[in-house]
A and B are shown apart, each in its own frame.
Chain A
Amino acid sequence: MSADMDFLSLTSLAEALEKLRSYGADAVLVAGGTAARYQLVSGMVKAKVALHIERIDGAAGFSGNGTARLGALTTLRDIAEDADILSRFRAVAMAAGKCGGWQTQSIATAGGNVCTAAPTADLLPPLLVQDAEIELQSRARGGRTLGLGEFLLDAFKTARAPDEMATAFLLPAQPARSADTYVRIQRRGAMERPIIAVALRLAMDEGLKNVSEVRIAVSGAGALPFRATEAEALMAGNAPGKEAIRAAADAILARSSFRTDPRASASYRKAVLPRAFAHAVSICSDAIAANGA
């Protein structure tokens, strides 16, 4: 462990960006530290200085009509309990509330969850199905936004430059006649990383008969959560019936790879993914129907 590591508690974004500019790749960002401390202690991540950004002003919260802005330092518990998020981006709130226990959710942040880019990070699938963008800021170049899909490079690897900090997520408004959900396969009722998780955003056409657009993101079926675009294309324009669901599930499976770990076997993951997907479709269909009625 880096016993001699410097630790700087920062209170403003400007200060954080300034420190990032001078330390660059030698710095690690620590918010609640629920993942960062483990990564540092275990040697997974090496750094000369930890920049503690948990108490930076103004980087938490959910706001905006139309495109919404979720501050990167919003805690998972605050996301899980935010009535606005629950009604507008249900899957995001559901995912935040399932990540660890309340003790973790109290301090773990959206930015930390996404930027750690762990294979089972809960916020990734629901943000992916919203086509969310991540806002990054640096002292040298100012701000930029990047689609989440472009931001995520590999497990524990992102496109964040060493002098950048994630400051927010931008979520475009959901279309009419749509619903989203997060189906997370886990053994116990809590305190589990997902074995398989499916985030789904389903939008129906005016007659509520056919799918106008569907977005599917899956975790537990590859190195990182991914958008199952082939399956999305197969479902669009069709009724979300058994056949369409089966074809889409096959398309998801075709680009999935499964591994066995102490949590579950590869064969279970493979067996459960189509069921989780079908379940997600039925939840969203039912929700849209209920709203339409």
Chain B
Amino acid sequence: MTETHPVTATVNGREETFEVEGLESLMDVLRDKLHLSGTKEGCREGECGACTVLLDGKPVNSCGYIARAAEGREIETIEGLNDALSMRIKTAIVEAGGIQCGYCTPGIVVMLSGLLRRHAAPDERLIRQALSGNICRCTGYAQIVDAVLGVVQGKAAAE
């Protein structure tokens, strides 16, 4: 058997300890060891963004991130994104019809949560730039972008 090492990190607000091999990716740990399969495997090359999670609040591709480097860090996956901002994003995407096969959707929601935490009112150009690392093959992105613009405008109207 390959040697494993214990790693302790906060995952979706809960401290978790898991055994990790060598350079094992954070994605494999989340999917196979913590059974958080909402983090999707799309390419393992860092090209598609389906595995995006928030690491200390920043969006990263978990497929390329060394799980052992997550020691002591805070990880948020789609399963844990239930804050008010994330819920607004999810609701907007659902209502805009920005979901088809849905395989890219969790990664997109995570990315957008990261974006809107950093930039409260991104314009369409910034939204599209931020989403460039998340490939959606079904929607052509339009209804997703519309949904985010709706969230931004809704927030502006509420404030």
A binding-site residues for B, Cβ under 8 Å: 1-5, 7, 9, 30, 32-34, 37-38, 40-41, 50, 52, 54, 77, 97, 100-104, 106-107, 189-191
Tell me which residues across on chain B come within 8 A of A4, comparing CB atoms.
2-3, 22
Of the four ranges (under 10, 10 to 19, 20 to 34, 35 or more), the interface on chain B belongs to: 20 to 34
**B59 close to A102 (CB less than 8 A):** yes
A117 to B129, CA, bound (A): 26
Tell me which residues across on chain B come within 8 A of A103, comparing CB atoms.
46, 49, 52, 59-61, 111, 133
**Contacts A/B (CB < 8 Å), 19 sampled:** A3-B3, A3-B21, A3-B23, A7-B5, A7-B69, A9-B69, A9-B72, A32-B60, A32-B65, A50-B23, A50-B66, A101-B133, A103-B49, A103-B133, A104-B64, A104-B133, A106-B114, A190-B129, A191-B47
Q: Most chain-B CB neighbours within 10 Å: which of A33, A38, A50, A97?
A: A33
**A34 close to B46 (CB less than 8 A):** yes
Q: Indicate if B11 sits at the interface (CB-CB under 8 A).
A: no
A266 to B54, CA, bound (A): 39
**A1 close to B22 (CB less than 8 A):** yes
Tell me which residues across on chain A come within 8 A of B2, comparing CB atoms.
3-4
**A1 close to B23 (CB less than 8 A):** yes
Tell me which residues across on chain B come within 8 A of A3, comparing CB atoms.
2-3, 21-23
Q: Indicate if B55 sits at the interface (CB-CB under 8 A).
A: yes
**A33 close to B133 (CB less than 8 A):** no
Chain B min CB distance to A15 (Å): 15
> Main secondary structure on chain B at its contact with chain A?
mixed
A191 to B64, CA, bound (A): 15
A191 to B61, CA, bound (A): 13
A54 to B58, CA, bound (A): 14
Partner of B61 from A50, A77, A104 at Cβ < 8 Å: A104
**B130 close to A102 (CB less than 8 A):** yes
Give B1-28 as 1s and 0s: 1 = Cβ < 8 Å from A's Cβ atoms.
Answer: 0110100000000000000011101000
Knowing A5-B22, A106-B58, A107-B60 touch, does A191 contact B132 (C-beta < 8 A)? Answer: yes
Tell me which residues across on chain B come within 8 A of A38, comparing CB atoms.
64
Q: Most chain-B CB neighbours within 10 Å: which of A102, A190, A191?
A: A102
Tell me which residues across on chain A come within 8 A of B61, comparing CB atoms.
101, 103-104
**B65 close to A52 (CB less than 8 A):** no
Knowing A102-B111, A107-B58 touch, does A190 contact B133 (C-beta < 8 A)? Answer: yes
Tell me which residues across on chain B come within 8 A of A32, comparing CB atoms.
60, 65
Tell me which residues across on chain B come within 8 A of A189, comparing CB atoms.
132
Knowing A3-B22, A40-B23, A104-B133 touch, does A54 contact B114 (C-beta < 8 A)? Answer: no
Report the nearest A residue to B47, measured CB to CB.
A191
Tell me which residues across on chain B come within 8 A of A1, comparing CB atoms.
22-23
Interface residues of B in 51-106 (CB under 8 A from A): 52, 55, 58-61, 64-66, 68-69, 71-72
**B68 close to A100 (CB less than 8 A):** no
A189 to B68, CA, bound (A): 33
Report the nearest A residue to B61, measured CB to CB.
A103
**A9 close to B60 (CB less than 8 A):** no
A40 to B60, CA, bound (A): 19
